[in-house]
Structure formats: structure tokens, C-alpha cells
Chain A
Amino acid sequence: MKTKMQTDGLDVFYGEKQALFGVDLQIGANEVTALIGPSGCGKSTYLRCLNRMNDVVPGCRVSGRVTLDGEDVYDPRLDVVKLRARVGMVFQKPNPFPKSIYENVAYGPRIHGITHDRDELDALVRDSLRRAGLLEEVEDRLNEPGTSLSGGQQQRLCIARAIAVSPEVILMDEPCSALDPIATARVEELIDELRAQFTIVIVTHSMQQAARVSQRTAFFHLGRIVEEGETTKIFTNPDQERTQDYITGRFG
């Protein structure tokens, strides 16, 4: 396994309250890593450390080491804007901007100055939508507002928006929790396809989803990693009893 991102001894505090305790985890390149665990166990907090989205939370303090390709993400010289262009994010609730479908996808390329002319931008927008499996559905209404789409389509629009800036890692925070089963299946398929080009970290509440889409799984409990490893191993033969209990639904 080639390591894309890695955390060593990651502690996170919200004011006085500690949310993560010395989390060590390696995230393999071109793999889907699933983070599972009961609510409030710190998996979303962990995810938000990877692209420093915790920076915008007042009173949040991070210590320990997070690296991307061996580079320290929390290095003060590192530019958070650049980091987030390399580590994209998809949120729990679809959050398309109140703009047209086209503008939603074009937003990232525009602010980062990725394309040089309109044709190039058009091509990039269409390509991103295609790769998010949305192009066919929206091809003839690119100028309609993104909010006019269904929930599942909105979430795929957000994925298209994320991949339009060619990130290396995509973080997904329970991306299917607001979707119906059919839309969920569609997004899960998409995640599997995207694995070829991107490293994906996904937080999920659904054990089945973790089992379906991920190659590796980390089980969080009370701000610590209880167990992590190959998904098949975690789900069939976990080392820890707590993992076993959680997976079989005895708590959480």
C-alpha cells in the first residue's frame, strides 16, 4: 500500500473538550478508506483535520502531525487554500451553491485559475459532470439552479464540483445520509469508479456501505481508533471485541 495521507498522534480539542486522542492512521493512495463508529466518536472531526476545515471552527485546537505526501498539513508555511485544492470535500447534506449547475462546477476552476478560456472551462465542467455520472441527466439544463436538482443529483453535483479542481484526495462526510436508497446506490457506484483517480476517505454510519465501497476501514470510538485494517478483515474477523460488538449492532 502506498500511503497518501498519514496522521501521527493527532489530538483535537474544542475549547476545553478533547475530541480526538492520539489518532494514528495511514490512508492509502487510490483506495477508499471508511471511517465508522457511533455518533460523536470523532470520525467527522478526524476527517475535517485532513483538509483543515477545523480551522473555521472557533476554539478548535489541533496537535500532532498530519501529512499529505509526506508534507505537514499544519505547517504554518503551508497554504491552506492550496491544501484544500488538493484535498477536496463532500458534505453530509448536499450543499450546491445558489448558482446554476454550470456555475457550481465552474466555481473551483475559476477561483483557482485552472482554465484559460471559456472552451477549456466548458470542457472541464462537462468532463467533471460526466465523471460524476450526472452529465446525461443535466446536459440540457446546465443553466438551471443547482438547487432544482433532486437530493441525489445535488450530491453528485457536489462531487462533480469537488473533482473539477482535480484534487488528489476527496473527503466524504456521510455523503449518502440524506439520500434515498436508489440515489445512495448511484453514489456508491460512483465512489467505486472514482477510486481509480482519487484517494477517498469516507465517513459513514452505514456498516453495509463501508463494507461495499471501502478497501480499508477504521473503527473510531470515544475519540480513539479502536481498530483499523482491511475492510474484509474488520468485518469478518476483527481483533477487538468492541469492533465485533459495534459491527454486529450491539451498540452505537
Chain B
Amino acid sequence: MTSSSDPQRLDRADARLRRRYRAERLFQASGVAAIAFAVGTLFLLLGTVVYQGTGAFVESVAVLPVALDAGALDPDGDRSPESLARGNYASPVREALRARFPEASGRREKRALAGLLSVGAEYDLRDFVLAHPEAIGTTVERPLLLSDDADLYVRGDVDVDVDESDRKVSDAQVAWLDALVARGQVERRFNRRLFTSGDSREPELAGLQGAIRGSFLTLLVTLLLSFPIGVAAALYLEEFAPRNRLTDFVEVNINNLAAVPSIVFGLLGLAVLLNFLGLPRSAPLVGGIVLALMTLPTVIIAGRAALSAVPPSIREAALGVGASHVQAVLHHVLPQALPGILTGTIIGMARALGETAPLLMIGMIAFIVDLPTSPTDPATVLPVQIYLWSDAPERAFQARMGAAIIVLLGFLVVMNGAAVALRRRFESRY
């Protein structure tokens, strides 16, 4: 029976063994390649986002002397805020630029010159004058916000070798901008507007405040609904439910809901919440309800896992000193399970924060400039803002989109980090 004495056979076995080891190496290499591919794509995505998005955190301004003419800025002449608010701020801004480049002549050239600045320059000037009415009548150096195209040129994102008709910045504008830069009259500074203003048609004025508020209000509604209902359902199923077909049915339902495509929840929101119950469109209230229904299975499943991880001895000890079943659960089991439930809830919330499709279905896609203040105001949310900006034709919106993605991912990192920290802190208790 022993065959190792047969030399020919031994040779064959060696050749075979070499083949087998080659297969082994190949197999392992393909495993490494698989992971490298997935992780590589992730880094490509993150790299692209950071590369595209960081630009939007900086804005460009031209610092020019602006003559604050009392006649234009204060029509009533009483320096009252009402009068100042009605002032004409476009002309001082325009004049400041013309004073710097007096050579610009003719309607077209003048318009091109004015095109260097954003309308935001006027708003900023108005804010300044309202805060400093005493400056009227003097000439002050003010930062004037550049338009999105001028900003792109200043940061070097415009290829001047392209034919003039194929780019947004004309040769004359290039010359003016170069002159401003050469004299140190262009400043780059942190773009606070990105975090303080709402959406806008002008990329350089568009901000995330509206979307962040919308996301916050939506998640607030989601949390207020899904956490109590989820915890209650988890408590019932884990602690009180009798083993019967109704309970089984509830469990099957929860597991299936966890895997229903999110867009279907959007259809539910549209058909039931908007059309049947007549709740307001585009409102965080409706978005929050839809996301709560979507998040509920996550909270329930996490809650049950946390509850079942509480050792039965704790429950038995409570029952042993005469507590009722309800008291044992509420006083002893639930507090023990709470960190686990919270972890699951935070993870569910993080997922809800990134959700887009169902919110588009209930109309949270509208272009909304006003900042929402209550859950029934029309609003949009961060991921929808990303979607909207990704679709915008102006190139500068792509950088805004990148910045929005960075902000969204930042929130997600914070939330998931909190969940991980919570889990670490409490997991080694038993």
C-alpha cells in the first residue's frame, strides 16, 4: 500500500505539489487583490471628494476702496436702518471697480468688468453699512466677493490656452484679475458663507445652512418617533411577547422592512402621508416620519440584541425580591441594555442622515433659499443638496458639492464615532 517508495510516482507527486502551491499563492493573491480593489476605490472616492471639495471652503475677494456716497445709500437721509436697507449698493461697488480700471469703456467692457464681482459684494456692503452707518460719506477699503468664474480663475482652475469663446472668463477679465492679483488686491479667505447661508442660484453665495437645518429637523422628527417606538417594540418582543403566530408575524415584518428598498418608503410617504393625510410637501415632518419608519427595524433589531445580552440573572434577581415582571424589566433590564440600544439608534440615525431617495419622493428636492425653522417649513437636507448641486451646470457648484459631501461625511464620522465610543465604553461590563 505504501507508495512513497516508487520513485517515478514521487516525481509526479512533486510536480503536482508545485502546482498545488502555485494555486494556493494565486488564490491568496486574488483575495488580497479583492480587498485592495474595494479599499482602493474607497480611497479614490475620498481623494476625489477632498480634492474637489476643499476649494469651496475658501472664497476670493477683491479688496478695493469703496466710496460710500450718502445719496445712493441713504435715500431718506436719516441713517435709519429702514432707509439704509433701501439704498442702492450696486453703484458704489461698480464704481469702486471702475475707479480701479478706468480704461474699461463701452457697454460690453463695463459689463464684463462688473461681471468680475458677485452680487454678494452688494449684500456684504449693505451689511457693512447697516452695521457702520457712521462710515457713510467716507471711502473705505472693503472686500468685494468675486463671482464664481473669477474665483475659479484666481485659483488657477481656468485654462487660458482654451479659445476665449470656450471659457467663461474673457481675455479682458483675465487681464484685470491678473492686475488685481499683481497688486495684492485679491484675498483668499475662509468661506463662512458656506455654513451660514442657504442655497442660491449663484455658486459663490450658496451655503449649507438650510440643508444642515433641514437635516437636523428631519432627524429630530425621526429620532423622536423611532427611538420610543423602537424601544417599546423591542421591549415587547424580547420581554413580554407570547410565542404565537402574531408575534412571529411581527418579527417577519420587521425583518422584511429592514430590507425593503428605501424608495418604496418614499412611495408610502407620497401616497399616505402627502396625498391621503394631506401633510405638507417638502417638510422635515414628513421626511422625518418616512425615515423613522425606515429606521424603526434597525432600532428594534439593535434593541432586541441589547436586551437579550442582559444576563437573565439580573432579571431573576429583581423578580426574586418581589418586583413585578414590568418593574424588573423597566428598572433593571432596560437600563442595562440602554447603551446598546443607543448605539443601534445612532447607527440608524447615521443611515437616515445619508438617505436621499425617499426624501426626493416627498418633495424635499425643491430649490429653497429660506432657512427652515420648524418641521413644517419646506426644507431640503444635506444629501439632497449634494444631489442638487451635482446636477447644476456651473462648474463652481461641483466644488460646493464636494464641500457638502465633506460636511456630510464629517457628520457621519462624528455619529459613528459616538456609537463606537459608546460600545467600547459599555461592552466589557459582563
Name A's B-contacting residues (CB within 8 A).
Answer: 79, 81-82, 86, 111-114, 166, 168, 197
Chain A interface, >50% SS class: loop
Distance to closest chain A CB from B259 (angstroms): 27
A113 close to B1 (CB less than 8 A)? no
Contact of A113 (CB < 8 Å), options: B2, B4, B13: B13
A113 close to B3 (CB less than 8 A)? no
Give 18 CB contacts A-B under 8 Å.
Answer: A79-B17, A81-B17, A81-B20, A82-B13, A82-B17, A86-B4, A111-B20, A112-B13, A112-B16, A113-B12, A113-B13, A113-B16, A114-B3, A166-B1, A166-B2, A166-B3, A168-B2, A197-B1
Distance to closest chain B CB from A38 (angstroms): 31
Q: Which residue of the partner chain A has the closest CB to B24?
A: A81
Distance to closest chain A CB from B72 (angstroms): 79
Q: Which residue of the partner chain B has the closest CB to A69?
A: B4
Count of chain B residues with a beta carbon within 8 Å of a chain A beta carbon: 9
Add 16 more A-B contacts to A113-B16, A166-B3 (CB < 8 A): A79-B17, A81-B17, A81-B20, A82-B13, A82-B17, A86-B4, A111-B20, A112-B13, A112-B16, A113-B12, A113-B13, A114-B3, A166-B1, A166-B2, A168-B2, A197-B1
Interface string of B1-43 (1 = CB under 8 A from A): 1111000000011001100100000000000000000000000
**In the complex, what distance in Å separates the CA atom of A111 from the CA atom of B1?**
18
> Which B residues touch A168, using CB under 8 A?
2
> Which B residues touch A82, using CB under 8 A?
13, 17
> Which B residues touch A166, using CB under 8 A?
1-3
**In the complex, what distance in Å separates the CA atom of A112 from the CA atom of B14?**
10
Distance to closest chain A CB from B306 (angstroms): 30
Name B's A-contacting residues (CB within 8 A).
Answer: 1-4, 12-13, 16-17, 20
> Which A residues touch B13, using CB under 8 A?
82, 112-113
Distance to closest chain A CB from B342 (angstroms): 34
Distance to closest chain A CB from B149 (angstroms): 60
Number of A-B contacts (CB under 8 A): 18
Distance to closest chain B CB from A126 (angstroms): 15
A-B CB proximity, top 3 nearest: A113-B16, A166-B1, A166-B2
**In the complex, what distance in Å separates the CA atom of A79 from the CA atom of B16?**
13
**In the complex, what distance in Å separates the CA atom of A77 from the CA atom of B428?**
44
**In the complex, what distance in Å separates the CA atom of A57 from the CA atom of B13?**
28
Q: Which residue of the partner chain B has the closest CB to A114?
A: B3
> Which A residues touch B1, using CB under 8 A?
166, 197
Q: Which residue of the partner chain A has the closest CB to B12?
A: A113
> Which B residues touch A86, using CB under 8 A?
4
**In the complex, what distance in Å separates the CA atom of A168 from the CA atom of B4?**
10
Q: Which residue of the partner chain B has the closest CB to A127?
A: B1
**In the complex, what distance in Å separates the CA atom of A168 from the CA atom of B3?**
10
Distance to closest chain B CB from A182 (angstroms): 29
**In the complex, what distance in Å separates the CA atom of A197 from the CA atom of B2?**
9
Distance to closest chain B CB from A170 (angstroms): 13
Distance to closest chain A CB from B314 (angstroms): 32
> Which A residues touch B17, using CB under 8 A?
79, 81-82
Q: Which residue of the partner chain B has the closest CB to A82?
A: B17
Distance to closest chain A CB from B316 (angstroms): 31
> Which B residues touch A112, using CB under 8 A?
13, 16
> Which A residues touch B20, using CB under 8 A?
81, 111
Q: Which residue of the partner chain B has the closest CB to A131?
A: B1
> Which B residues touch A197, using CB under 8 A?
1
> Which B residues touch A111, using CB under 8 A?
20
**In the complex, what distance in Å separates the CA atom of A114 from the CA atom of B20?**
14
> Which A residues touch B12, using CB under 8 A?
113
Q: Which residue of the partner chain A has the closest CB to B4?
A: A86
**In the complex, what distance in Å separates the CA atom of A113 from the CA atom of B1?**
15
Looking at A79, A113, A166, the one whose CB has the most chain B CB atoms below 10 A away is: A113
**In the complex, what distance in Å separates the CA atom of A168 from the CA atom of B1?**
10
**In the complex, what distance in Å separates the CA atom of A111 from the CA atom of B21?**
12
Distance to closest chain A CB from B41 (angstroms): 30
Q: Which residue of the partner chain B has the closest CB to A167?
A: B2
Distance to closest chain A CB from B177 (angstroms): 63
**In the complex, what distance in Å separates the CA atom of A27 from the CA atom of B182?**
90
**In the complex, what distance in Å separates the CA atom of A166 from the CA atom of B13?**
14
Distance to closest chain A CB from B348 (angstroms): 35
Distance to closest chain A CB from B16 (angstroms): 5
Distance to closest chain A CB from B295 (angstroms): 38
Distance to closest chain A CB from B242 (angstroms): 35
Distance to closest chain B CB from A76 (angstroms): 14
> Which B residues touch A114, using CB under 8 A?
3
